[in-house]
Amino acid sequence: MDSTEPARAAVVRDCLGVGLAVGLYGAAFGAAGIAAGLGVAQTCALSLLMFTGASQFALVGVLGAGGAPLAAVASALMLGSRNTLYGLRLARPLGWRGLRRVVAAHGVIDETTAMALAAPTPATLRLAFTVTGTSLFVGWNLSTLAGALGSELLAFPAAQAALDAVVPAAFLALLWPRLRASRRDRTVALGGALIALALTPIVNPGLQVILAAAAVGLGWIGRAP
Protein backbone atom coordinates (compact mmCIF):
# COMPACT_ATOMS: atom_id res chain seq x y z
CA MET A 1 0.00 0.00 0.00
CA ASP A 2 1.21 3.52 -0.80
CA SER A 3 2.53 5.21 2.36
CA THR A 4 0.29 8.19 1.66
CA GLU A 5 -2.90 6.11 1.70
CA PRO A 6 -3.25 5.90 5.50
CA ALA A 7 -2.79 9.67 5.76
CA ARG A 8 -5.39 10.29 3.06
CA ALA A 9 -7.82 7.86 4.70
CA ALA A 10 -7.39 9.59 8.04
CA VAL A 11 -8.04 12.99 6.45
CA VAL A 12 -11.18 11.73 4.73
CA ARG A 13 -12.46 10.12 7.95
CA ASP A 14 -11.91 13.25 10.03
CA CYS A 15 -13.37 15.59 7.42
CA LEU A 16 -16.46 13.46 6.90
CA GLY A 17 -17.00 13.40 10.65
CA VAL A 18 -16.83 17.18 10.87
CA GLY A 19 -18.96 17.74 7.79
CA LEU A 20 -21.73 15.36 8.78
CA ALA A 21 -21.80 16.42 12.44
CA VAL A 22 -21.93 20.16 11.74
CA GLY A 23 -24.34 19.62 8.86
CA LEU A 24 -26.98 18.37 11.27
CA TYR A 25 -27.25 21.86 12.76
CA GLY A 26 -28.89 22.97 9.54
CA ALA A 27 -32.12 21.63 11.02
CA ALA A 28 -32.00 24.39 13.63
CA PHE A 29 -31.64 26.98 10.90
CA GLY A 30 -34.54 25.47 8.98
CA ALA A 31 -36.77 25.80 12.02
CA ALA A 32 -35.51 29.33 12.76
CA GLY A 33 -36.20 30.44 9.20
CA ILE A 34 -39.81 29.30 9.37
CA ALA A 35 -40.25 30.85 12.82
CA ALA A 36 -38.92 34.14 11.39
CA GLY A 37 -41.69 34.18 8.79
CA LEU A 38 -39.81 32.81 5.78
CA GLY A 39 -41.22 30.06 3.59
CA VAL A 40 -39.63 26.65 3.13
CA ALA A 41 -38.26 27.62 -0.30
CA GLN A 42 -36.82 30.90 1.02
CA THR A 43 -35.19 29.19 3.98
CA CYS A 44 -33.65 26.51 1.78
CA ALA A 45 -32.47 29.12 -0.73
CA LEU A 46 -30.53 30.88 2.04
CA SER A 47 -28.68 27.67 2.87
CA LEU A 48 -27.95 27.00 -0.78
CA LEU A 49 -26.81 30.51 -1.68
CA MET A 50 -25.32 31.87 1.58
CA PHE A 51 -23.95 28.67 3.11
CA THR A 52 -22.33 30.29 6.12
CA GLY A 53 -24.20 29.28 9.23
CA ALA A 54 -23.63 32.21 11.61
CA SER A 55 -24.59 34.75 8.94
CA GLN A 56 -27.75 32.82 8.12
CA PHE A 57 -28.78 32.72 11.77
CA ALA A 58 -28.04 36.42 12.14
CA LEU A 59 -30.21 37.27 9.14
CA VAL A 60 -33.29 35.31 10.19
CA GLY A 61 -32.79 36.25 13.84
CA VAL A 62 -32.95 39.97 13.17
CA LEU A 63 -35.88 39.59 10.76
CA GLY A 64 -37.77 37.38 13.17
CA ALA A 65 -37.22 39.83 16.02
CA GLY A 66 -38.78 42.62 13.96
CA GLY A 67 -35.56 44.26 12.79
CA ALA A 68 -35.20 46.13 9.50
CA PRO A 69 -34.01 44.14 6.46
CA LEU A 70 -30.99 46.46 6.18
CA ALA A 71 -29.96 45.67 9.75
CA ALA A 72 -30.42 41.95 9.08
CA VAL A 73 -28.25 42.07 5.96
CA ALA A 74 -25.60 44.19 7.68
CA SER A 75 -25.37 41.72 10.58
CA ALA A 76 -25.06 38.81 8.17
CA LEU A 77 -22.36 40.54 6.13
CA MET A 78 -20.43 41.43 9.26
CA LEU A 79 -20.35 37.84 10.44
CA GLY A 80 -19.50 36.56 6.97
CA SER A 81 -16.69 39.01 6.31
CA ARG A 82 -14.15 36.71 7.95
CA ASN A 83 -14.62 34.29 5.05
CA THR A 84 -12.86 36.82 2.81
CA LEU A 85 -9.73 36.50 4.94
CA TYR A 86 -10.04 32.72 4.83
CA GLY A 87 -10.21 32.89 1.05
CA LEU A 88 -7.03 34.95 0.86
CA ARG A 89 -5.28 32.42 3.08
CA LEU A 90 -6.44 29.41 1.04
CA ALA A 91 -6.07 30.81 -2.49
CA ARG A 92 -2.39 29.95 -2.89
CA PRO A 93 -2.28 26.49 -1.26
CA LEU A 94 -5.42 25.34 -3.09
CA GLY A 95 -4.02 26.64 -6.36
CA TRP A 96 -7.28 26.34 -8.28
CA ARG A 97 -8.24 28.57 -11.19
CA GLY A 98 -11.28 29.37 -13.30
CA LEU A 99 -14.64 27.77 -12.55
CA ARG A 100 -13.15 25.45 -9.96
CA ARG A 101 -11.96 28.45 -7.97
CA VAL A 102 -15.39 30.09 -8.18
CA VAL A 103 -17.07 26.94 -6.87
CA ALA A 104 -14.47 26.58 -4.11
CA ALA A 105 -15.06 30.16 -2.98
CA HIS A 106 -18.63 29.24 -2.07
CA GLY A 107 -17.28 26.63 0.34
CA VAL A 108 -14.78 28.83 2.19
CA ILE A 109 -16.12 28.79 5.76
CA ASP A 110 -14.79 28.09 9.26
CA GLU A 111 -14.85 24.30 9.05
CA THR A 112 -13.37 23.89 5.58
CA THR A 113 -10.60 26.37 6.37
CA ALA A 114 -9.73 24.70 9.67
CA MET A 115 -9.63 21.19 8.24
CA ALA A 116 -7.67 22.25 5.15
CA LEU A 117 -5.00 24.13 7.09
CA ALA A 118 -4.64 21.22 9.51
CA ALA A 119 -3.80 18.83 6.66
CA PRO A 120 -0.14 17.67 6.57
CA THR A 121 0.58 18.10 2.83
CA PRO A 122 -0.63 20.29 -0.07
CA ALA A 123 -2.39 17.31 -1.63
CA THR A 124 -4.25 16.39 1.54
CA LEU A 125 -5.04 20.09 2.09
CA ARG A 126 -7.06 20.11 -1.12
CA LEU A 127 -8.60 16.75 -0.22
CA ALA A 128 -9.58 18.01 3.24
CA PHE A 129 -11.16 21.15 1.82
CA THR A 130 -13.13 19.19 -0.77
CA VAL A 131 -14.38 16.43 1.54
CA THR A 132 -15.32 18.80 4.36
CA GLY A 133 -17.01 21.29 2.03
CA THR A 134 -18.98 18.68 0.08
CA SER A 135 -20.19 16.68 3.08
CA LEU A 136 -21.08 19.81 5.03
CA PHE A 137 -22.88 21.45 2.11
CA VAL A 138 -24.99 18.35 1.44
CA GLY A 139 -25.70 17.70 5.12
CA TRP A 140 -26.49 21.35 5.93
CA ASN A 141 -28.94 21.73 3.07
CA LEU A 142 -30.72 18.43 3.68
CA SER A 143 -30.98 19.27 7.38
CA THR A 144 -32.29 22.76 6.57
CA LEU A 145 -35.06 21.22 4.48
CA ALA A 146 -35.90 18.72 7.21
CA GLY A 147 -35.93 21.42 9.88
CA ALA A 148 -38.11 23.73 7.81
CA LEU A 149 -40.62 21.02 6.98
CA GLY A 150 -40.72 19.72 10.55
CA SER A 151 -40.93 23.10 12.27
CA GLU A 152 -44.72 23.08 12.04
CA LEU A 153 -44.70 20.26 14.58
CA LEU A 154 -43.19 22.62 17.18
CA ALA A 155 -45.46 24.55 19.48
CA PHE A 156 -45.20 28.32 18.97
CA PRO A 157 -43.51 29.05 22.35
CA ALA A 158 -40.77 26.51 21.58
CA ALA A 159 -40.17 27.95 18.12
CA GLN A 160 -40.12 31.51 19.47
CA ALA A 161 -37.70 30.58 22.24
CA ALA A 162 -35.34 29.08 19.68
CA LEU A 163 -35.59 32.20 17.54
CA ASP A 164 -34.93 34.56 20.47
CA ALA A 165 -31.56 32.85 20.99
CA VAL A 166 -30.41 33.42 17.41
CA VAL A 167 -29.17 37.04 17.59
CA PRO A 168 -27.11 36.58 20.80
CA ALA A 169 -25.69 33.33 19.43
CA ALA A 170 -24.70 35.00 16.17
CA PHE A 171 -22.96 37.85 18.00
CA LEU A 172 -21.21 35.34 20.27
CA ALA A 173 -19.92 33.56 17.16
CA LEU A 174 -18.28 36.82 16.12
CA LEU A 175 -17.00 37.56 19.62
CA TRP A 176 -15.75 34.16 20.77
CA PRO A 177 -12.49 33.90 18.75
CA ARG A 178 -11.31 37.22 20.23
CA LEU A 179 -11.64 35.88 23.79
CA ARG A 180 -8.80 33.45 23.15
CA ALA A 181 -6.44 36.02 21.66
CA SER A 182 -4.27 38.70 23.29
CA ARG A 183 -5.26 40.81 26.30
CA ARG A 184 -5.94 43.75 24.00
CA ASP A 185 -8.21 41.63 21.81
CA ARG A 186 -10.10 40.35 24.84
CA THR A 187 -10.59 43.89 26.07
CA VAL A 188 -11.95 44.99 22.70
CA ALA A 189 -14.23 41.95 22.44
CA LEU A 190 -15.65 42.35 25.92
CA GLY A 191 -16.14 46.07 25.32
CA GLY A 192 -18.18 45.28 22.23
CA ALA A 193 -20.25 42.77 24.20
CA LEU A 194 -21.02 45.33 26.91
CA ILE A 195 -22.03 47.93 24.32
CA ALA A 196 -24.34 45.45 22.61
CA LEU A 197 -25.94 44.45 25.91
CA ALA A 198 -26.47 48.08 26.91
CA LEU A 199 -28.09 48.95 23.58
CA THR A 200 -30.33 45.89 23.32
CA PRO A 201 -33.28 47.33 25.32
CA ILE A 202 -33.28 50.69 23.51
CA VAL A 203 -32.60 50.04 19.81
CA ASN A 204 -34.26 48.01 17.08
CA PRO A 205 -33.19 44.35 16.81
CA GLY A 206 -29.91 43.94 14.96
CA LEU A 207 -28.72 47.50 15.43
CA GLN A 208 -26.94 46.66 18.67
CA VAL A 209 -24.56 44.38 16.78
CA ILE A 210 -23.84 46.98 14.11
CA LEU A 211 -23.35 49.85 16.56
CA ALA A 212 -21.19 47.79 18.91
CA ALA A 213 -18.96 46.67 16.04
CA ALA A 214 -18.69 50.23 14.75
CA ALA A 215 -17.73 51.56 18.18
CA VAL A 216 -15.14 48.84 18.67
CA GLY A 217 -13.74 49.43 15.19
CA LEU A 218 -13.35 53.17 15.81
CA GLY A 219 -11.71 52.51 19.16
CA TRP A 220 -9.32 50.03 17.58
CA ILE A 221 -8.33 52.47 14.84
CA GLY A 222 -7.83 55.23 17.39
CA ARG A 223 -5.45 53.07 19.43
CA ALA A 224 -3.50 51.70 16.46
CA PRO A 225 0.10 52.94 16.13
Query: Can you give the C-alpha Rg of the chain in angstroms?
Result: 19
Q: Which residue has the higher pLDDT, 213 or 110?
A: 110
Give the dihedral sign, CA 77/80/85/91: negative
101-143: pLDDT as tens digits: 999 999 999 889 988 998 888 889 999 999 999 999 999 999 9
pLDDT number for residue 168: 56
Mean pLDDT confidence for 53-66:
85
Minimum mean pLDDT among 15-19, 35-39, 181-185, 219-223: which range? 219-223
**Banded pLDDT at 193 (limits 50, 70, 90):** confident
pLDDT number for residue 2: 46
Q: What is the 3-state secondary structure (H, E, C) of the chain?
A: CCCHHHHHHHHHHHHHHHHHHHHCCHHHHHHHHHHCCCCHHHHHHHHHHCCCHHHHHHHHHHHHCCCCHHHHHHHHHHHHCHHHHHHHHHHHHHCCCHHHHHHHHHCCCHHHHHHHHCCCCHHHHHHHHHHHHHHHHHHHHHHHHHHHHHHHHCCHHHHHHHHHCHHHHHHHHHHHHHHCCCHHHHHHHHHHHHHHHHHCCCCCCCHHHHHHHHHHHHHHHHHCC
- Give every CB contact of residue 41 below 8 A, 6+ residues apart in sequence: none
Q: How far is CA 176 from CA 166, 189, 190, 197, in A?
A: 15, 8, 10, 15
- Domain-wise residue ranges, the chain: 4-223
- In contact, 115 and 107? CB cutoff 8 Å: no
Mean pLDDT confidence for 58-75:
84
pLDDT number for residue 218: 60
**Banded pLDDT at 224 (limits 50, 70, 90):** very low
2-41: pLDDT as tens digits: 457 888 888 999 899 888 888 888 888 888 888 888 889 9
90-104: pLDDT as tens digits: 999 998 999 999 999
The chain-wide mean pLDDT, for the chain, equals: 79
